Amino acid sequence: MIVQSIELKNRNKLVRQYVNGELEDLFAYDPFNDTKKRIAHLQERHFPRQELATHLRAMNEKWQAPEATLNEIERLRDERSVVVIGGQQAGLLSGPLYTVHKIISIIKYAREQEELLGIPVIPVFWIAGEDHDYDEINHIFTQADGQLNKRIIGQVEWEKKSISHIPLDEKLTKEWLKQVFNDLAETEHTRYLASSIFEAVEESNSFVDFFARIIFQLFKEEGIVLVDAADEGIRYLERERFVQLIDKQEEITEAIFTRAEKLSQAGHAVQVDVSQSDANLFYHNDQEERILLMRQEDRWVGKYDEVSFSTEEMLSIAKREPDRLSNNVMTRPLMQEALFPTLAFVAGDGEISYWALLKDAFPRFDSQMKMPPILPRLSITLLTKRVNKLVKHRRLELADVVNEGCRHLSMNWLASKQNPPVDTLFNEAEAHIADIHKPIQALSTSLSPDLGAAAERNLENITKELDYLRNRMNRQLEEKYDQELEQFEEIQLFLRPNDGLQERTLNILFFLNECGFDFIQKIIACDIPFTKDHHIISLEELSI
**Residues 275-324: tens digit of each pLDDT:** 999 999 999 999 889 999 999 988 999 989 999 999 999 999 999 999 99
Instruction: For the chain, give the mean pLDDT.
Output: 91
Q: pLDDT tens digits for 362-385?
A: 999 999 999 999 999 999 999 999
Least confident of 117-131, 423-437, 512-526: 423-437
How far is residue 36's CA from residue 362's CA, in Å, rounded to a whole number?
20
CB burial of residue 320 (10 Å; 0-12, 13-18, 19+): exposed
pLDDT at residue 409, as a whole number: 67
What is the biggest distance separating any 2 CA atoms in the chain, rounded to whole angstroms?
99
Contact 298, 310 (CB under 8 A): yes
Average pLDDT over residues 202-213: 97
What's this model's pTM, rounded to 2 decimal places? Answer: 0.88
Cα–Cα nearest to 295, from 354, 239, 251: 251
Q: Pick 235 or 429 by higher pLDDT.
A: 235
> 514 CB contacts (<8 Å, ≥6 apart)?
187, 189, 384, 539, 544
Confidence of residue 527 (pLDDT cuts 50, 70, 90): very high
Residue 99 one-letter amino acid: T
Q: Is the pLDDT of residue 144 over 90?
A: no
Instruction: Output the CA–CA distances (angstroms, integers) from residue 100 to 22, 45, 63, 248, in the order listed.
Output: 29, 31, 18, 36
Residue 198 confidence (pLDDT) above 80:
yes
Condensed to tens digits (0 to 9), the pLDDT of residues 53-94 reads 999 999 999 999 999 999 999 999 999 999 999 999 999 999
pLDDT tens, position by position, 153-188: 999 988 888 999 999 999 999 999 999 999 999 999
Spatial CA neighbour of 240 closest among 131, 339, 359, 127? 339
Q: Does residue 413 have a pLDDT over 80?
A: no
With bands split at pLDDT 50, 70 and 90, how would you rate the model's confidence at 468? confident
Q: Can you give the pLDDT at residue 267?
A: 86
**pLDDT of 96 over the 60 cut:** yes
Residue 207 clears pLDDT 90, i.e. is over it: yes
CA distance 420 to 397: 27
Using the predicted structure, report yes or no on whether residue 459 has a pLDDT greater than 90: no
Q: For position 464, what pLDDT does the model report? A: 83
The model's confidence at residue 217, banded by pLDDT at 50, 70 and 90, is very high
What pLDDT is attached to residue 479? Answer: 62
**Mean pLDDT, rounded, for 109-132:** 95
Q: In what order do the strands lie in the sheet with 534-538?
A: 3-6, 534-538, 380-383
For residue 210, which of 163, 250, 249 has the smallest C-alpha distance? 163
Whether the CA torsion 6, 10, 15, 20 is positive or negative: it is: positive
User: For residue 10, is pLDDT > 60?
Assistant: yes
Phi, psi of 505 (to 5 degrees): -125, -55
**pLDDT exceeds cutoff 90 at 489:** no
The contacts of residue 319 (CB under 8 Å, 6+ apart) are 239, 243
Q: Which long-range contacts (CB under 8 A, 24 or more apart) does 9-17 make?
A: 9/403, 9/404, 10/403, 11/349, 11/533, 12/349, 12/350, 12/352, 12/353, 13/267, 13/268, 13/269, 14/263, 14/268, 14/269, 14/352, 14/353, 14/356, 15/349, 15/352, 15/353, 15/376
Higher pLDDT, 305 or 416: 305
Region 339-346 average pLDDT: 98
